[in-house]
Each structure stands twice: as C-alpha cells, then as structure tokens.
Structure 1
Amino acid sequence: MISVPKTKSLVIAKKPIRCKLAVNDEIIEQVLSFKYLGVEIFSNQDRKKEVQGQIDKAARISGCLKEIIWRNKHMKREAKVKIYKTCVRPIMTYAAEIRADIRKTKSMVRTTEMRTLRAIAGYTLRDRVPNVAIRETCGVQDIIRCVRQRRRGWNEHVSRMGEERMARIARDGKLSFRRPPGRPPKRWMDSWTSGSQVAK
C-alpha cells in the first residue's frame, strides 16, 4: 500500500522536467527538492545547497557549545576535541561517502571546521596562526582527508556486495546515452584522491 499524500516524486535533471505519476488515479506531487534521512536532495544535484544545509546545522550546534565547552578554561583541550568529533563533525560529514565534493564544498566544510578548532585552541583570525598549526595543536586530521578515507572504505564495502545489490549496480553501471554539452560534473571516483593525484 502506498500513501499518495505522503509520497513525492523527484526527477534528477539539470533543468526542471515534468513527470506525471499517478497511483489509483491519484497524482503524486512532484517536487524540486526532498529531505531524506536528514539530507536535502535537489533535482539539479546542487551540492552546494546540500552541503550548506549540513554546515548550518553543525554551526548552530557549535555555536551553542561555544561558551559552555569551547571557551571553558577548566576543561582539557583533548576533551573538547572529543566533543567536537562526536557532536559537530558527524553532522558535516553525514553521507559524505557517496558525495563527490567540488572545490567550493571542500572550502565550505574546511572553513566551518577551522572556526570551531580556533575556538577550541583559543585563537582568533587576528593571531594569524596557520590552519596546519591549529590542527596539530588539537590533534585533528583535515576533515577532507578524513572524508576521503571514508569514501575509499565505502568503495571497498560496495566491492564486497553481490552483483545484484543496488549500490553495486549504481557504482558499476554505465550510462547508455551521451552526456550533455558543457563541463561534466565531478565524478564520485575522482573524489577518492586529491586533485594533483587525479591529474596524473
């Protein structure tokens, strides 16, 4: 049984495409975006909006913890870092294993993370302390490298699946039509490594 009022349809395309679906003569509403398991999916595959939504959630939580945790002088830095890795970072990296990040989304995520790490380390932008030094002080790996490792782990997990599994079919499948003109979007497999390694 399908509940038509609770069911939505979404077409993945660069430009909006009308697709009429009906169940028992009842038309299913077509939407341009849909939130599924906390992730906003857009019909035009706008990764910036998807990442921005997760960053906003993480920034709100980090802001609530700023005065209570990050600036608490009676708490060890190691404890603050553990709270960050437990409460803030998972929100920014949720479902990142199946997303191909572009340069803009990487910059957005790194900026949000460094804003929290500076508060934990007790620095501001006026101190002009490099990001690398702040990460070493906090003992935190770069969030983009962390996501890249998780992406490789997900690929190995899919490789162990049977050929009839949907994730395996989606990864190994090949398009049967030509790509539209223009610069193609970054592929998921290209996001396993850094840009310099891909260029080689």
Structure 2
Amino acid sequence: MAETLGDLNTMLNDLSRASQQVGLRMNMSKTKIMSNAHVPLQPVIVENTALEIVDEYVYLGHTIQLGRSNFEKEVNRRIQLGWAAFGKLRAIFSSNIPQCLKTKVFEQCVLPVITYGSETWSLIMGLIRRLRVTQRAMERAMLGVSLRDRIRNVEIRRRTKVTDIAQRVAKLKWQWAGHKVRRKDGRWGPKEWQPRTGKRSFGRPPTRWTDDIKRVAGSCWIQAAQNRGTWNSLQKTYVQQWTSIG
C-alpha cells in the first residue's frame, strides 16, 4: 500500500529485486494494481512488465473493491459459491436419509460458504433479504417442494430446522466486533483507521460497518464491548433487528 503510484512502483521493484536474490520471482500475471479516486492512474512497470489496473479482485476468498457497492458484489459471489457447494451435495439432500442429517450437512458445508467473511459486511436490509431468499430456495430443494406448492416459509423452517442465515450473519458480526476492539496485539482497529476526507458523492450516504452496531449499543459501543458480559447481553437485541426482517 502506498500514497502514490510512484511510491508503489519503487516498492514493487524493491520487492522483485529482493525476491530474486533468494531464488523467487513475482507472478506478474497475478499482480494487480487498484487505486481509489484520489490517485491519478498511470502505468506501473515491474521487470519491464506493465501491471494490470483493476477495479476489484479476490483476495483471501473475499472480493476487494473500492466504492459504494463493495459488499453487494461480494454477497452475490458468496451466494453463487453457496449454490455450487449445495450442488455438490445435492445427492445427499435428495436422498431418503433423515432430515436432521440433511440439516447438519447444510449447516456445516453450505452455510459457512455463504457467510464466509460476513463479519466485515456493512449490513443492510436488501442484503439480508437476498441471503434469506437464497436459503429458503435451498430449503425447498432439500424438501423437494417448489413455490407452486404454496407452503408457508414458517412450515418449511419447521421441517428443516436449519439456522436462519440472518441470525448466523448477525451473530458472527457482533462477536467479531467485540473481539476486534478488545484485542491488544497492536493490529489496526477502529481507533487507528482514519479514512481520507473529501467531497461526498450525491445520494444517500453508504451504510457504515458500525451503523447497525450503534443502533443497539450506542455511540460508545467500543467502551461497552470491553465488558464481555454487557456485550453478550446486547447480542440478542442486535440479532433480533435482522432476524425480524421478512
């Protein structure tokens, strides 16, 4: 990470030179450049190769992107990966084994794929609804029913007994938020991160990661999270605000 592309160019060439000294080489086809609106774009040359400039990329299983729709694309990607995992297990879900076993497989092999990295999402109602629609479709597939059968969602959930995905996502984020502000290992946290300021774009401001947390724990949520007992007592209220969405 650098303030300017010139600094980044110098850093990458130093990295390439140091790597070669120990018998390693950078993979230029996998090395990408991404910048925000504050940096004018220009070619970055490393080993006589111009690195590709991209708007987004996948890093450690998570889509990295600058802009307003950062988490929407990641949610769509997680849903696609979830369906891929579901498809690989379709033979199990369509078999005659007890529903309790199907539910266990679903919660251990499919839900974690969809909710991977959800601790970092800025949650909004639209994303939660999209996740729940996906989960309901998978539950219907497990039961071998369709929308034409006109079975209520509460009845489908009574049969499958799977954990609501909104509940899972909300719990993961709440637990991670508390862990994040309590750790004392020197890593970046909300106290250290100071984003650049500038003129805001037109329209409704994007939802911040802390907005839904502050609605429950207040503006002093960081202080509240220091006490595990207090933080855990607020978790139910936080989860409820997302699970109550239809």
- 1:135 is aligned with what amino acid? R
- 1:183 is aligned with what amino acid? R
Cα 1:54–1:16, aligned 2, differ >3 Å: closer, same or farther?
Answer: farther
Cα 1:9–1:169, aligned 2, differ >3 Å: closer, same or farther?
Answer: farther
Q: How many residues align?
A: 192
Which runs of 5 or more structure 1 residues have no equivalent in the other structure?
none
- 1:29-178 pair list within 5 angstroms: 29-46=52-69, 47-66=71-90, 68-73=91-96, 75-162=97-184, 164-169=186-191, 173=194, 176-177=197-198
1:184 Cα deviation after fit:
0.7
Q: Is the 8 A contact 1:21 1:27 kept in 2?
A: yes
Q: Is the 8 A contact 1:11 1:19 kept in 2?
A: no
Q: What SS does the corresponding residue of 1:166 show, helix, strand or coil?
A: coil
Cα 1:121–1:24, aligned 2, differ >3 Å: closer, same or farther?
Answer: closer
Q: What SS does the corresponding residue of 1:188 show, helix, strand or coil?
A: coil
| TM-score with structure 2 setting the length | 0.66
Cα 1:166–1:190, aligned 2, differ >3 Å: closer, same or farther?
Answer: same
1:85 Cα deviation after fit:
0.9
Structure of greater Rg: 2
Which runs of 5 or more structure 2 residues have no equivalent in the other structure?
1-14, 17-25, 214-237
RMSD: 2.9
Q: What SS does the corresponding residue of 2:189 show, helix, strand or coil?
A: helix
| TM-score with structure 1 setting the length | 0.80
Give the Cα separation in 2 of the matches to 1:60 and 1:41.
21
Q: Which residue of 2 aligns with 1:181?
A: 202
Q: What SS does the corresponding residue of 1:182 show, helix, strand or coil?
A: coil
Cα 1:103–1:19, aligned 2, differ >3 Å: closer, same or farther?
Answer: farther
Q: Which residue of 2 aligns with 1:9?
A: 33
Q: Deviations over 1:8-29 (max 9, x none)?
A: 221245x996265556886543
Q: What SS does the corresponding residue of 2:201 show, helix, strand or coil?
A: coil
Give the Cα separation in 2 of the matches to 1:52 and 1:140.
21
1:103 Cα deviation after fit:
2.9
Q: Deviations over 1:161-197 (max 9, x none)?
A: 2383113446x646544533321111112344437x9
Identity of aligned residues (%): 29
1:130 Cα deviation after fit:
2.0
- 1:61 is aligned with what amino acid? A
- 2:35 is aligned with what amino acid? V
- 1:48 is aligned with what amino acid? E
Cα 1:169–1:12, aligned 2, differ >3 Å: closer, same or farther?
Answer: farther
1:109 Cα deviation after fit:
1.3
Give the Cα separation in 2 of the matches to 1:189 and 1:19.
34
Give the Cα separation in 2 of the matches to 1:141 and 1:62.
16
- 1:113 is aligned with what amino acid? Q
